[in-house]
Each structure stands twice: as structure tokens, then as C-alpha cells.
Amino acid sequence: MPTSEDLSPAEYDLLLSQARVPEHSIHYMKTVSGGRPFLRYDYLFLHAEDWLLAVGYSIHGGDDPPEAFDQALQEARRETRAVNCWAICPELPERLRLYRTTQDRYYVLPSDIKIPSRLTRLADKAAARLTVDRGTAFTAAHRRLWAEFTGRVALPPNVRELYARTESALPQCPDLFLLNAWDDQGNLAACLLLDAAPRPFLSYLLGAHSRQTHTPYASDLLFREMIRIALETGKEYLHLGLGVNPGIRRFKEKWGASPATAYEMAEWSEPPDFRDDLDDLVRTVVFMPHVQMTREQYWNSLPPQRPYKLIWELEKNGRTSWIGGTAHFFCCSFESSMRRLFEKVDTVIFEGPLDQASLDQVARIGQTPDQTPNQASPRLLDAMTEEDVRKLERTVNGPRGFWARFLGTEDPNPADVRHYLANTRHWYAFFSLWTHFLRRNDWNHSVDLEAWHLAHEMGKEVRGMESIDEQIVTLESVPVDRIVRFFRQCGLWKGFIRRNMRAYLKGDLDAMMGTSAEFPSRTDLVIDRRDALFLERMLPRITTGRCAVFVGSAHMFNLQKMLADAGFTVRKLRKI
């Protein structure tokens, strides 16, 4: 299945040279929709987040059979997993007719049309009082005209939206321009927004005329000028857009425009999860170990799957990468989402190496505190009272004793809390006891470990941004008093992990950080100072595109802005 990557320069060129409808003007569409364009067969699609726009006019012309468009549409939908969909085409596929919102025709006008003499006279009258020019600057006069016009005329919301986006679209679309008619007081009497990007035609997008500084026939003058420009620039015809209503149709027809290509639009929502879930199931079955299981055993063997939502899409120069916030320990698996993501990437980057040898090395260091005089590792036990330790033991290991055994709630493998506090490095004691508590609460997964193994299994290039030595320096910097404080608050841990889980599953970064501000390893050094290093080390890969980066969720606070500052368009996805 091809993926929805941005178009190549050749495809941009193809679209503009074969354009049939104004929606083929790819730079404009990309700008006003905010979506990313891609081609499926002969059809243009734009997609972002959970939505998909489908332009059902084949770029190679022809009859546009609804079935061919529908095939491309269904593939694009499956691939993008879009929920909210819009399609325009000459004739809607049968299954979408129920969702039709508009039926109309595009109006076109040949460039070499002979302008009726009456209109020439009107335009001449206006020309005597107005100066026409073209430009790309949205000036104060344009703003005032746009405000006046949209404040006076009833317009559909989508057309209002086009007016609202004119100022931002102009600098981004090189072939978009304003055709202006100025009176001798310097007032803008009328203005058209035109698009010269499609090679075969000049597209009329919007227009406005003033009543406050009214000059009769200003719009007619601009129409005549627009036709002249189309002819001079070698356009075959002018695309005047849809008929919309009898008044607009009359104006277009008065200039000789005639209804041409049919237009139907549908708007609908796809059921969000059915196919996705089916895909996930298929993936899981494909990748499941080939051992004999009963159906019940199989279902029971599946870890609780959740969509991965703490993920951002990074785009620069048409190349896309992704960055996700991870949790070292978690209660659910995100394997299906990760597989989906990894199908789109070549490289997967982590904070550091997560292979068994590296993890063992970290554990070895953690278990052997530095005994050197004057720089001996601090012992957590020395900073805690007997009562603190007992409370911690109860939280980490849960209930013990006769009743706990009787009720089956006693931990069969309790952690030796005092050993960790007395005989291991402070950060190792923290992570060991915290992990034990999490495991006892069924947090048996690790987001980054799962991603690490999956990336290897799928044959991706896997990299770490820091060495083990660098990571040890970071761990050593975790302040003892923060760990002690966190241990003293162990009575709040259950609520803490519950809130953290909810926020993580929702992809709500703010809520996550709100619930864990006092987490011992979230210090300036661990988070802020490493962000710059991470950015520097991930930059070459994410600039190339097709790269997925995983960092601890707390890093995403700063990294979002830093990545945007580095020129990336950073877009939070609802899920992957």
C-alpha cells in the first residue's frame, strides 16, 4: 500500500499542468485546507489529522467514472484512517449519494471571448474613474474592503473562510494575486482574488466591491481586465467557479460564461474504528507467534491494546517524521499503533540504547555504589526515617500477613526495600522500587522497550541519542531529596498513576505533567538541558524524513517549540 507522503515536484507540476478544476491548484488548496496533498491513481487528496478531502476529477481527464474515483477514495480513506471526509466529483459514487450536500456546475469562459459591447461601455465608464493594478500585498485598504463586504453580504461559511484566509494565503501561493481597482482618492473600489497557478486556466476565487467608496461598474472593469490577463498569459479559459445562486449565475452568464463540468459534493463521517481495529487484528495475527492456542488462550494472550496518542508529526521541506512521548513503564501496549507508525519510517531513534546488554550495564552500575571517600554515593536510607521506610515497604509490596495470604493479595516476590535503600545508588533504588510498585499494579509494559524491540523486529535502523555513560551522568544528577520526597508521598502513588495513565492514553501532555510535577527525574538537568542535545542529535535524521523519535514525555514540552524554531511544522496527531 503506498503511503500518503507529500507530492514530488514532478507531481506538483503534473497537477498544475493538467488542472481541470480550481481545486487542482495545489499550493492554494494546501494552504487554505492545511492538509497534506497526495495522489492516489489519478486523483488528488488532501489529508491531516482525522480528515480527508477528495478531488474526484481525474488529472488525466476523461469521463471520471464514479467507480474509479471510489476505488481511489476508499484506498485513501483506509490509508489515512480519516473519519471526516469531503469529496467533490462530477458524479458521486452511489454509496455517497446519500451524503450529497451540493450539486452545481462550474462556469468557464474562453479567454478569447468577444466581450459584449454593452459591457465594454460599462467597463470604460469605470475605467475613466479607476486605476487598475495587480499585486500580492493585502493592504489596509484590502482589509477594509474585505471587512465591509463580508459585513454586508450573506455568504456561506466556507466562502467566509476563504475571505478570512486571504491574507495568510497570499504570501504562500506564488501565483495568487489581487486585481485592484482604485479610485482617485486612493480607495479600493473593487478587488478580485485570482489564481494563475493552473496552467490551462485563470481561476477567479473571490471578489468584493465597496459601497462606502462606490464606483459604478468597478467589478465589470475588473472582469474585463481579468479576461485580458488570461488571454495575455496564454490561458485557454477562465474558471469562474460554481454557479452558486441565480444572481451569481446571471453575472457570470452576462459575461458569456457557460456551465461546464458537473460538480457534486458530499460530506460524511466514516465509522472511526472498525477498519482500524480490523487492521490491528490482522497485524496482530500476522505477527503472532506460530504456536497452537485455543481461541480463548489467544484472546487472553493479547495485551491490552490502546491507540498511541502522544505523538506529533514533524514536517519540513515536504519531508515527514514523527516524535512521540514515551513512558518507561506503563500498563498497556501500543504495538498496533507502533507497527502502523513504523511502516512509514526507516529510522527509529530513542534517548539511549535499550538492548539487554546496555540495560544490564546500567543495572550493574546502579547496584554498585561508589565507595570512594568524599564522593561516595548517597544512601537513601540515611535520609529517611524508620516510619518513612515502613510506609514505603507497605506501598511497594502491598498488604502482607495472614489476611493478605488468605485473600490472595500478598506479593509472592516482595522487594527488599531496605536493601535497595542501603546498598544501591539512589536512582537505582528509586527506579527499582517504583517499578516494583507499578508491576504490582499491573503496569507490566514499557512503551520505549516495546518500541525498541518492535523497531528491530521490523528491520528498522535503530539509534540511541545518548551513550550509557551520558545517561549515567544524568541519573546521578537526580537529587536525593526529590527521591526522598517522592517516597514520602507514596500514599499518593495510586492516584498519581491512575491520573497519569488517563492523561497518557488521552495524549494530553499538559495533564500528564500536571499529575507528575514532583516526579524525581523531572529536573532541569534531566529534562531541559538534555533537550538541546536531543534536538541536535535527532536533527539530521528528522530533516531527512521517515524517522520516528521517542523521548520521555516530559521532554515534549520544550521540544515542540524547539522543533518549531528549527523550521519544522509541528502537528499534534490525535492518534497514530
Partner 1 sequence: MLGPDRLDHVAARAVVPEQLICYVRAVAGSTPRLFDACLGYESPDDLVLIGYPLHDPPQSLFDEQALSRSVDLALESSRAPRITVLAATRPRQAPAVATKEPPADKSPGQSSGQPRDAYLALPIPAPAPNQKLRNLLRRAGREVTLDQGRVLDQEHLALIDRYLEYRDLEPGTRLVFRNIPAYVQSCPGALVVSAWLNRSDGPPRLAGFVVGDFTSLSTAFYMFAFRDPDLAPPGTADLLLHALLQEGEKRGQVRMNLGLGINPAIRYFKQKWGAEVFLPCVETSWERRPRGWLSRMHKWISGAKSP
Comparing CB distances to partner 1, the nearer of 85 and 490 is 85
Give yes or no for residue 32 binding partner 1 (CB under 8 A). yes
Question: Residue from 63, 117, 128, 151 that binds partner 1 (CB under 8 A)?
Answer: 151
Q: How many CA atoms lie within 13 A of 81 on its CB side?
A: 18
Comparing CB distances to partner 1, the nearer of 152 and 405 is 152
Give yes or no for residue 98 binding partner 1 (CB under 8 A). no
Q: How far apart are CA 296 and CA 302, in angstroms?
A: 10
Comparing CB distances to partner 1, the nearer of 159 and 468 is 159
Give the binding range for partner 1 (CB under 8 A) out of 30-38, 61-69, 346-354, 429-437: 30-38
Give yes or no for residue 254 binding partner 1 (CB under 8 A). no
Q: How far is the CB of 143 from partner 1 (least distance, A)?
A: 3
Residues facing 47 on adjacent strands: 36, 52
The phi, psi pair for 194, rounded to 5°, reads: -120, 155
Question: Residue from 17, 131, 158, 467 that binds partner 1 (CB under 8 A)?
Answer: 158
Give yes or no for residue 248 binding partner 1 (CB under 8 A). no
User: How far, in Å, are 33, 466, 539, 543, 563 from residue 536 at the CA level?
Assistant: 32, 11, 5, 11, 10
DSSP string, 17-85: HS--SGGG-HHHHHHHH--EEEEETTEEEEEETTEEEEE-S-TT-S---HHHHHHHHHHHHHHHT-SEE
Give yes or no for residue 100 binding partner 1 (CB under 8 A). no
Q: How far is the CB of 431 from partner 1 (least distance, A)?
A: 25
Give yes or no for residue 271 binding partner 1 (CB under 8 A). no
Compose the 276-315 pattern: x for residues touching partner 1 by CB under 8 A, - for all others. ------------------------------x---------
Q: How far is the CB of 35 from partner 1 (least distance, A)?
A: 6
Give yes or no for residue 494 binding partner 1 (CB under 8 A). no
Q: How far is the CB of 572 from partner 1 (least distance, A)?
A: 11
Give yes or no for residue 128 binding partner 1 (CB under 8 A). no
Stated as kind and residue range, the H or E segment containing 321 is strand 319-326
Give the binding range for partner 1 (CB under 8 A) out of 145-153, 231-239, 371-379, 424-432: 145-153
Provide the grid cell at 465.
Answer: 541519542
Give yes or no for residue 244 binding partner 1 (CB under 8 A). no
Q: Which residues touch 457 (CB under 8 Å, ≥6 apart)? A: 287
Give yes or no for residue 442 binding partner 1 (CB under 8 A). no
Compose the 502-531 pattern: x for residues touching partner 1 by CB under 8 A, - for all others. x--xx---x---------------------
Question: Residue from 160, 250, 405, 485 that binds partner 1 (CB under 8 A)?
Answer: 160
Provide the grid cell at 474.
Answer: 544524568
Give yes or no for residue 143 binding partner 1 (CB under 8 A). yes
Comparing CB distances to partner 1, the nearer of 35 and 545 is 35
Q: How far apart are CA 44 and CA 32, in angstroms?
A: 15
User: How far, in Å, are 6, 357, 392, 425, 484 from residue 479 at the CA level?
Assistant: 46, 27, 18, 12, 9
Q: At what angle do helices 26-33 and 157-169 cross, to 10 degrees?
A: 110
Q: How far is the CB of 418 from partner 1 (least distance, A)?
A: 36
Give the binding range for partner 1 (CB under 8 A) out of 81-89, 176-184, 201-209, 281-289: 81-89
Q: Which residue has the cell 460538480?
A: 263
User: How far, in Å, are 58, 64, 185, 336 from residue 68 at the CA level?
Assistant: 9, 7, 55, 30
Question: Residue from 23, 225, 276, 450 that binds partner 1 (CB under 8 A)?
Answer: 23
Residues facing 440 on adjacent strands: none
Give yes or no for residue 106 binding partner 1 (CB under 8 A). no
Comparing CB distances to partner 1, the nearer of 468 and 505 is 505
Three-class DSSP labels, 84-140: EEEEEECCCCHHHHHHEEEEEEEEEEECCCCCCHHHHHHHHHHHCCCEEEEECCCCH
Which of 149, 208, 213, 209 lies closest to 185 in space, CA to CA? Answer: 213
Cα dihedral sign for 142, 147, 153, 156? positive
Give yes or no for residue 44 binding partner 1 (CB under 8 A). no
| Residue 314 CB coordination number (10 Å) | 26
* Mode of pairing for the β-strands spanning 547-552 and 319-326: parallel
Question: Residue from 146, 420, 431, 486 that binds partner 1 (CB under 8 A)?
Answer: 146
The CA-based angle 135-137-141, given to 5 degrees, is 100
Comparing CB distances to partner 1, the nearer of 313 and 393 is 313
Q: How many residues bind partner 1 (CB under 8 A)?
A: 46
Give yes or no for residue 153 binding partner 1 (CB under 8 A). yes
Provide the grid cell at 79.
Answer: 490509508
DSSP state of 572: E
Give yes or no for residue 157 binding partner 1 (CB under 8 A). yes
Question: Residue from 228, 489, 564, 567 that binds partner 1 (CB under 8 A)?
Answer: 564
- Binding site residues, partner 1, CB under 8 A: 23, 32-35, 46, 48-49, 51, 53, 55, 84, 86, 88, 139-144, 146-147, 150-155, 157-158, 160-165, 168, 265, 306, 501-502, 505-506, 510, 561, 564
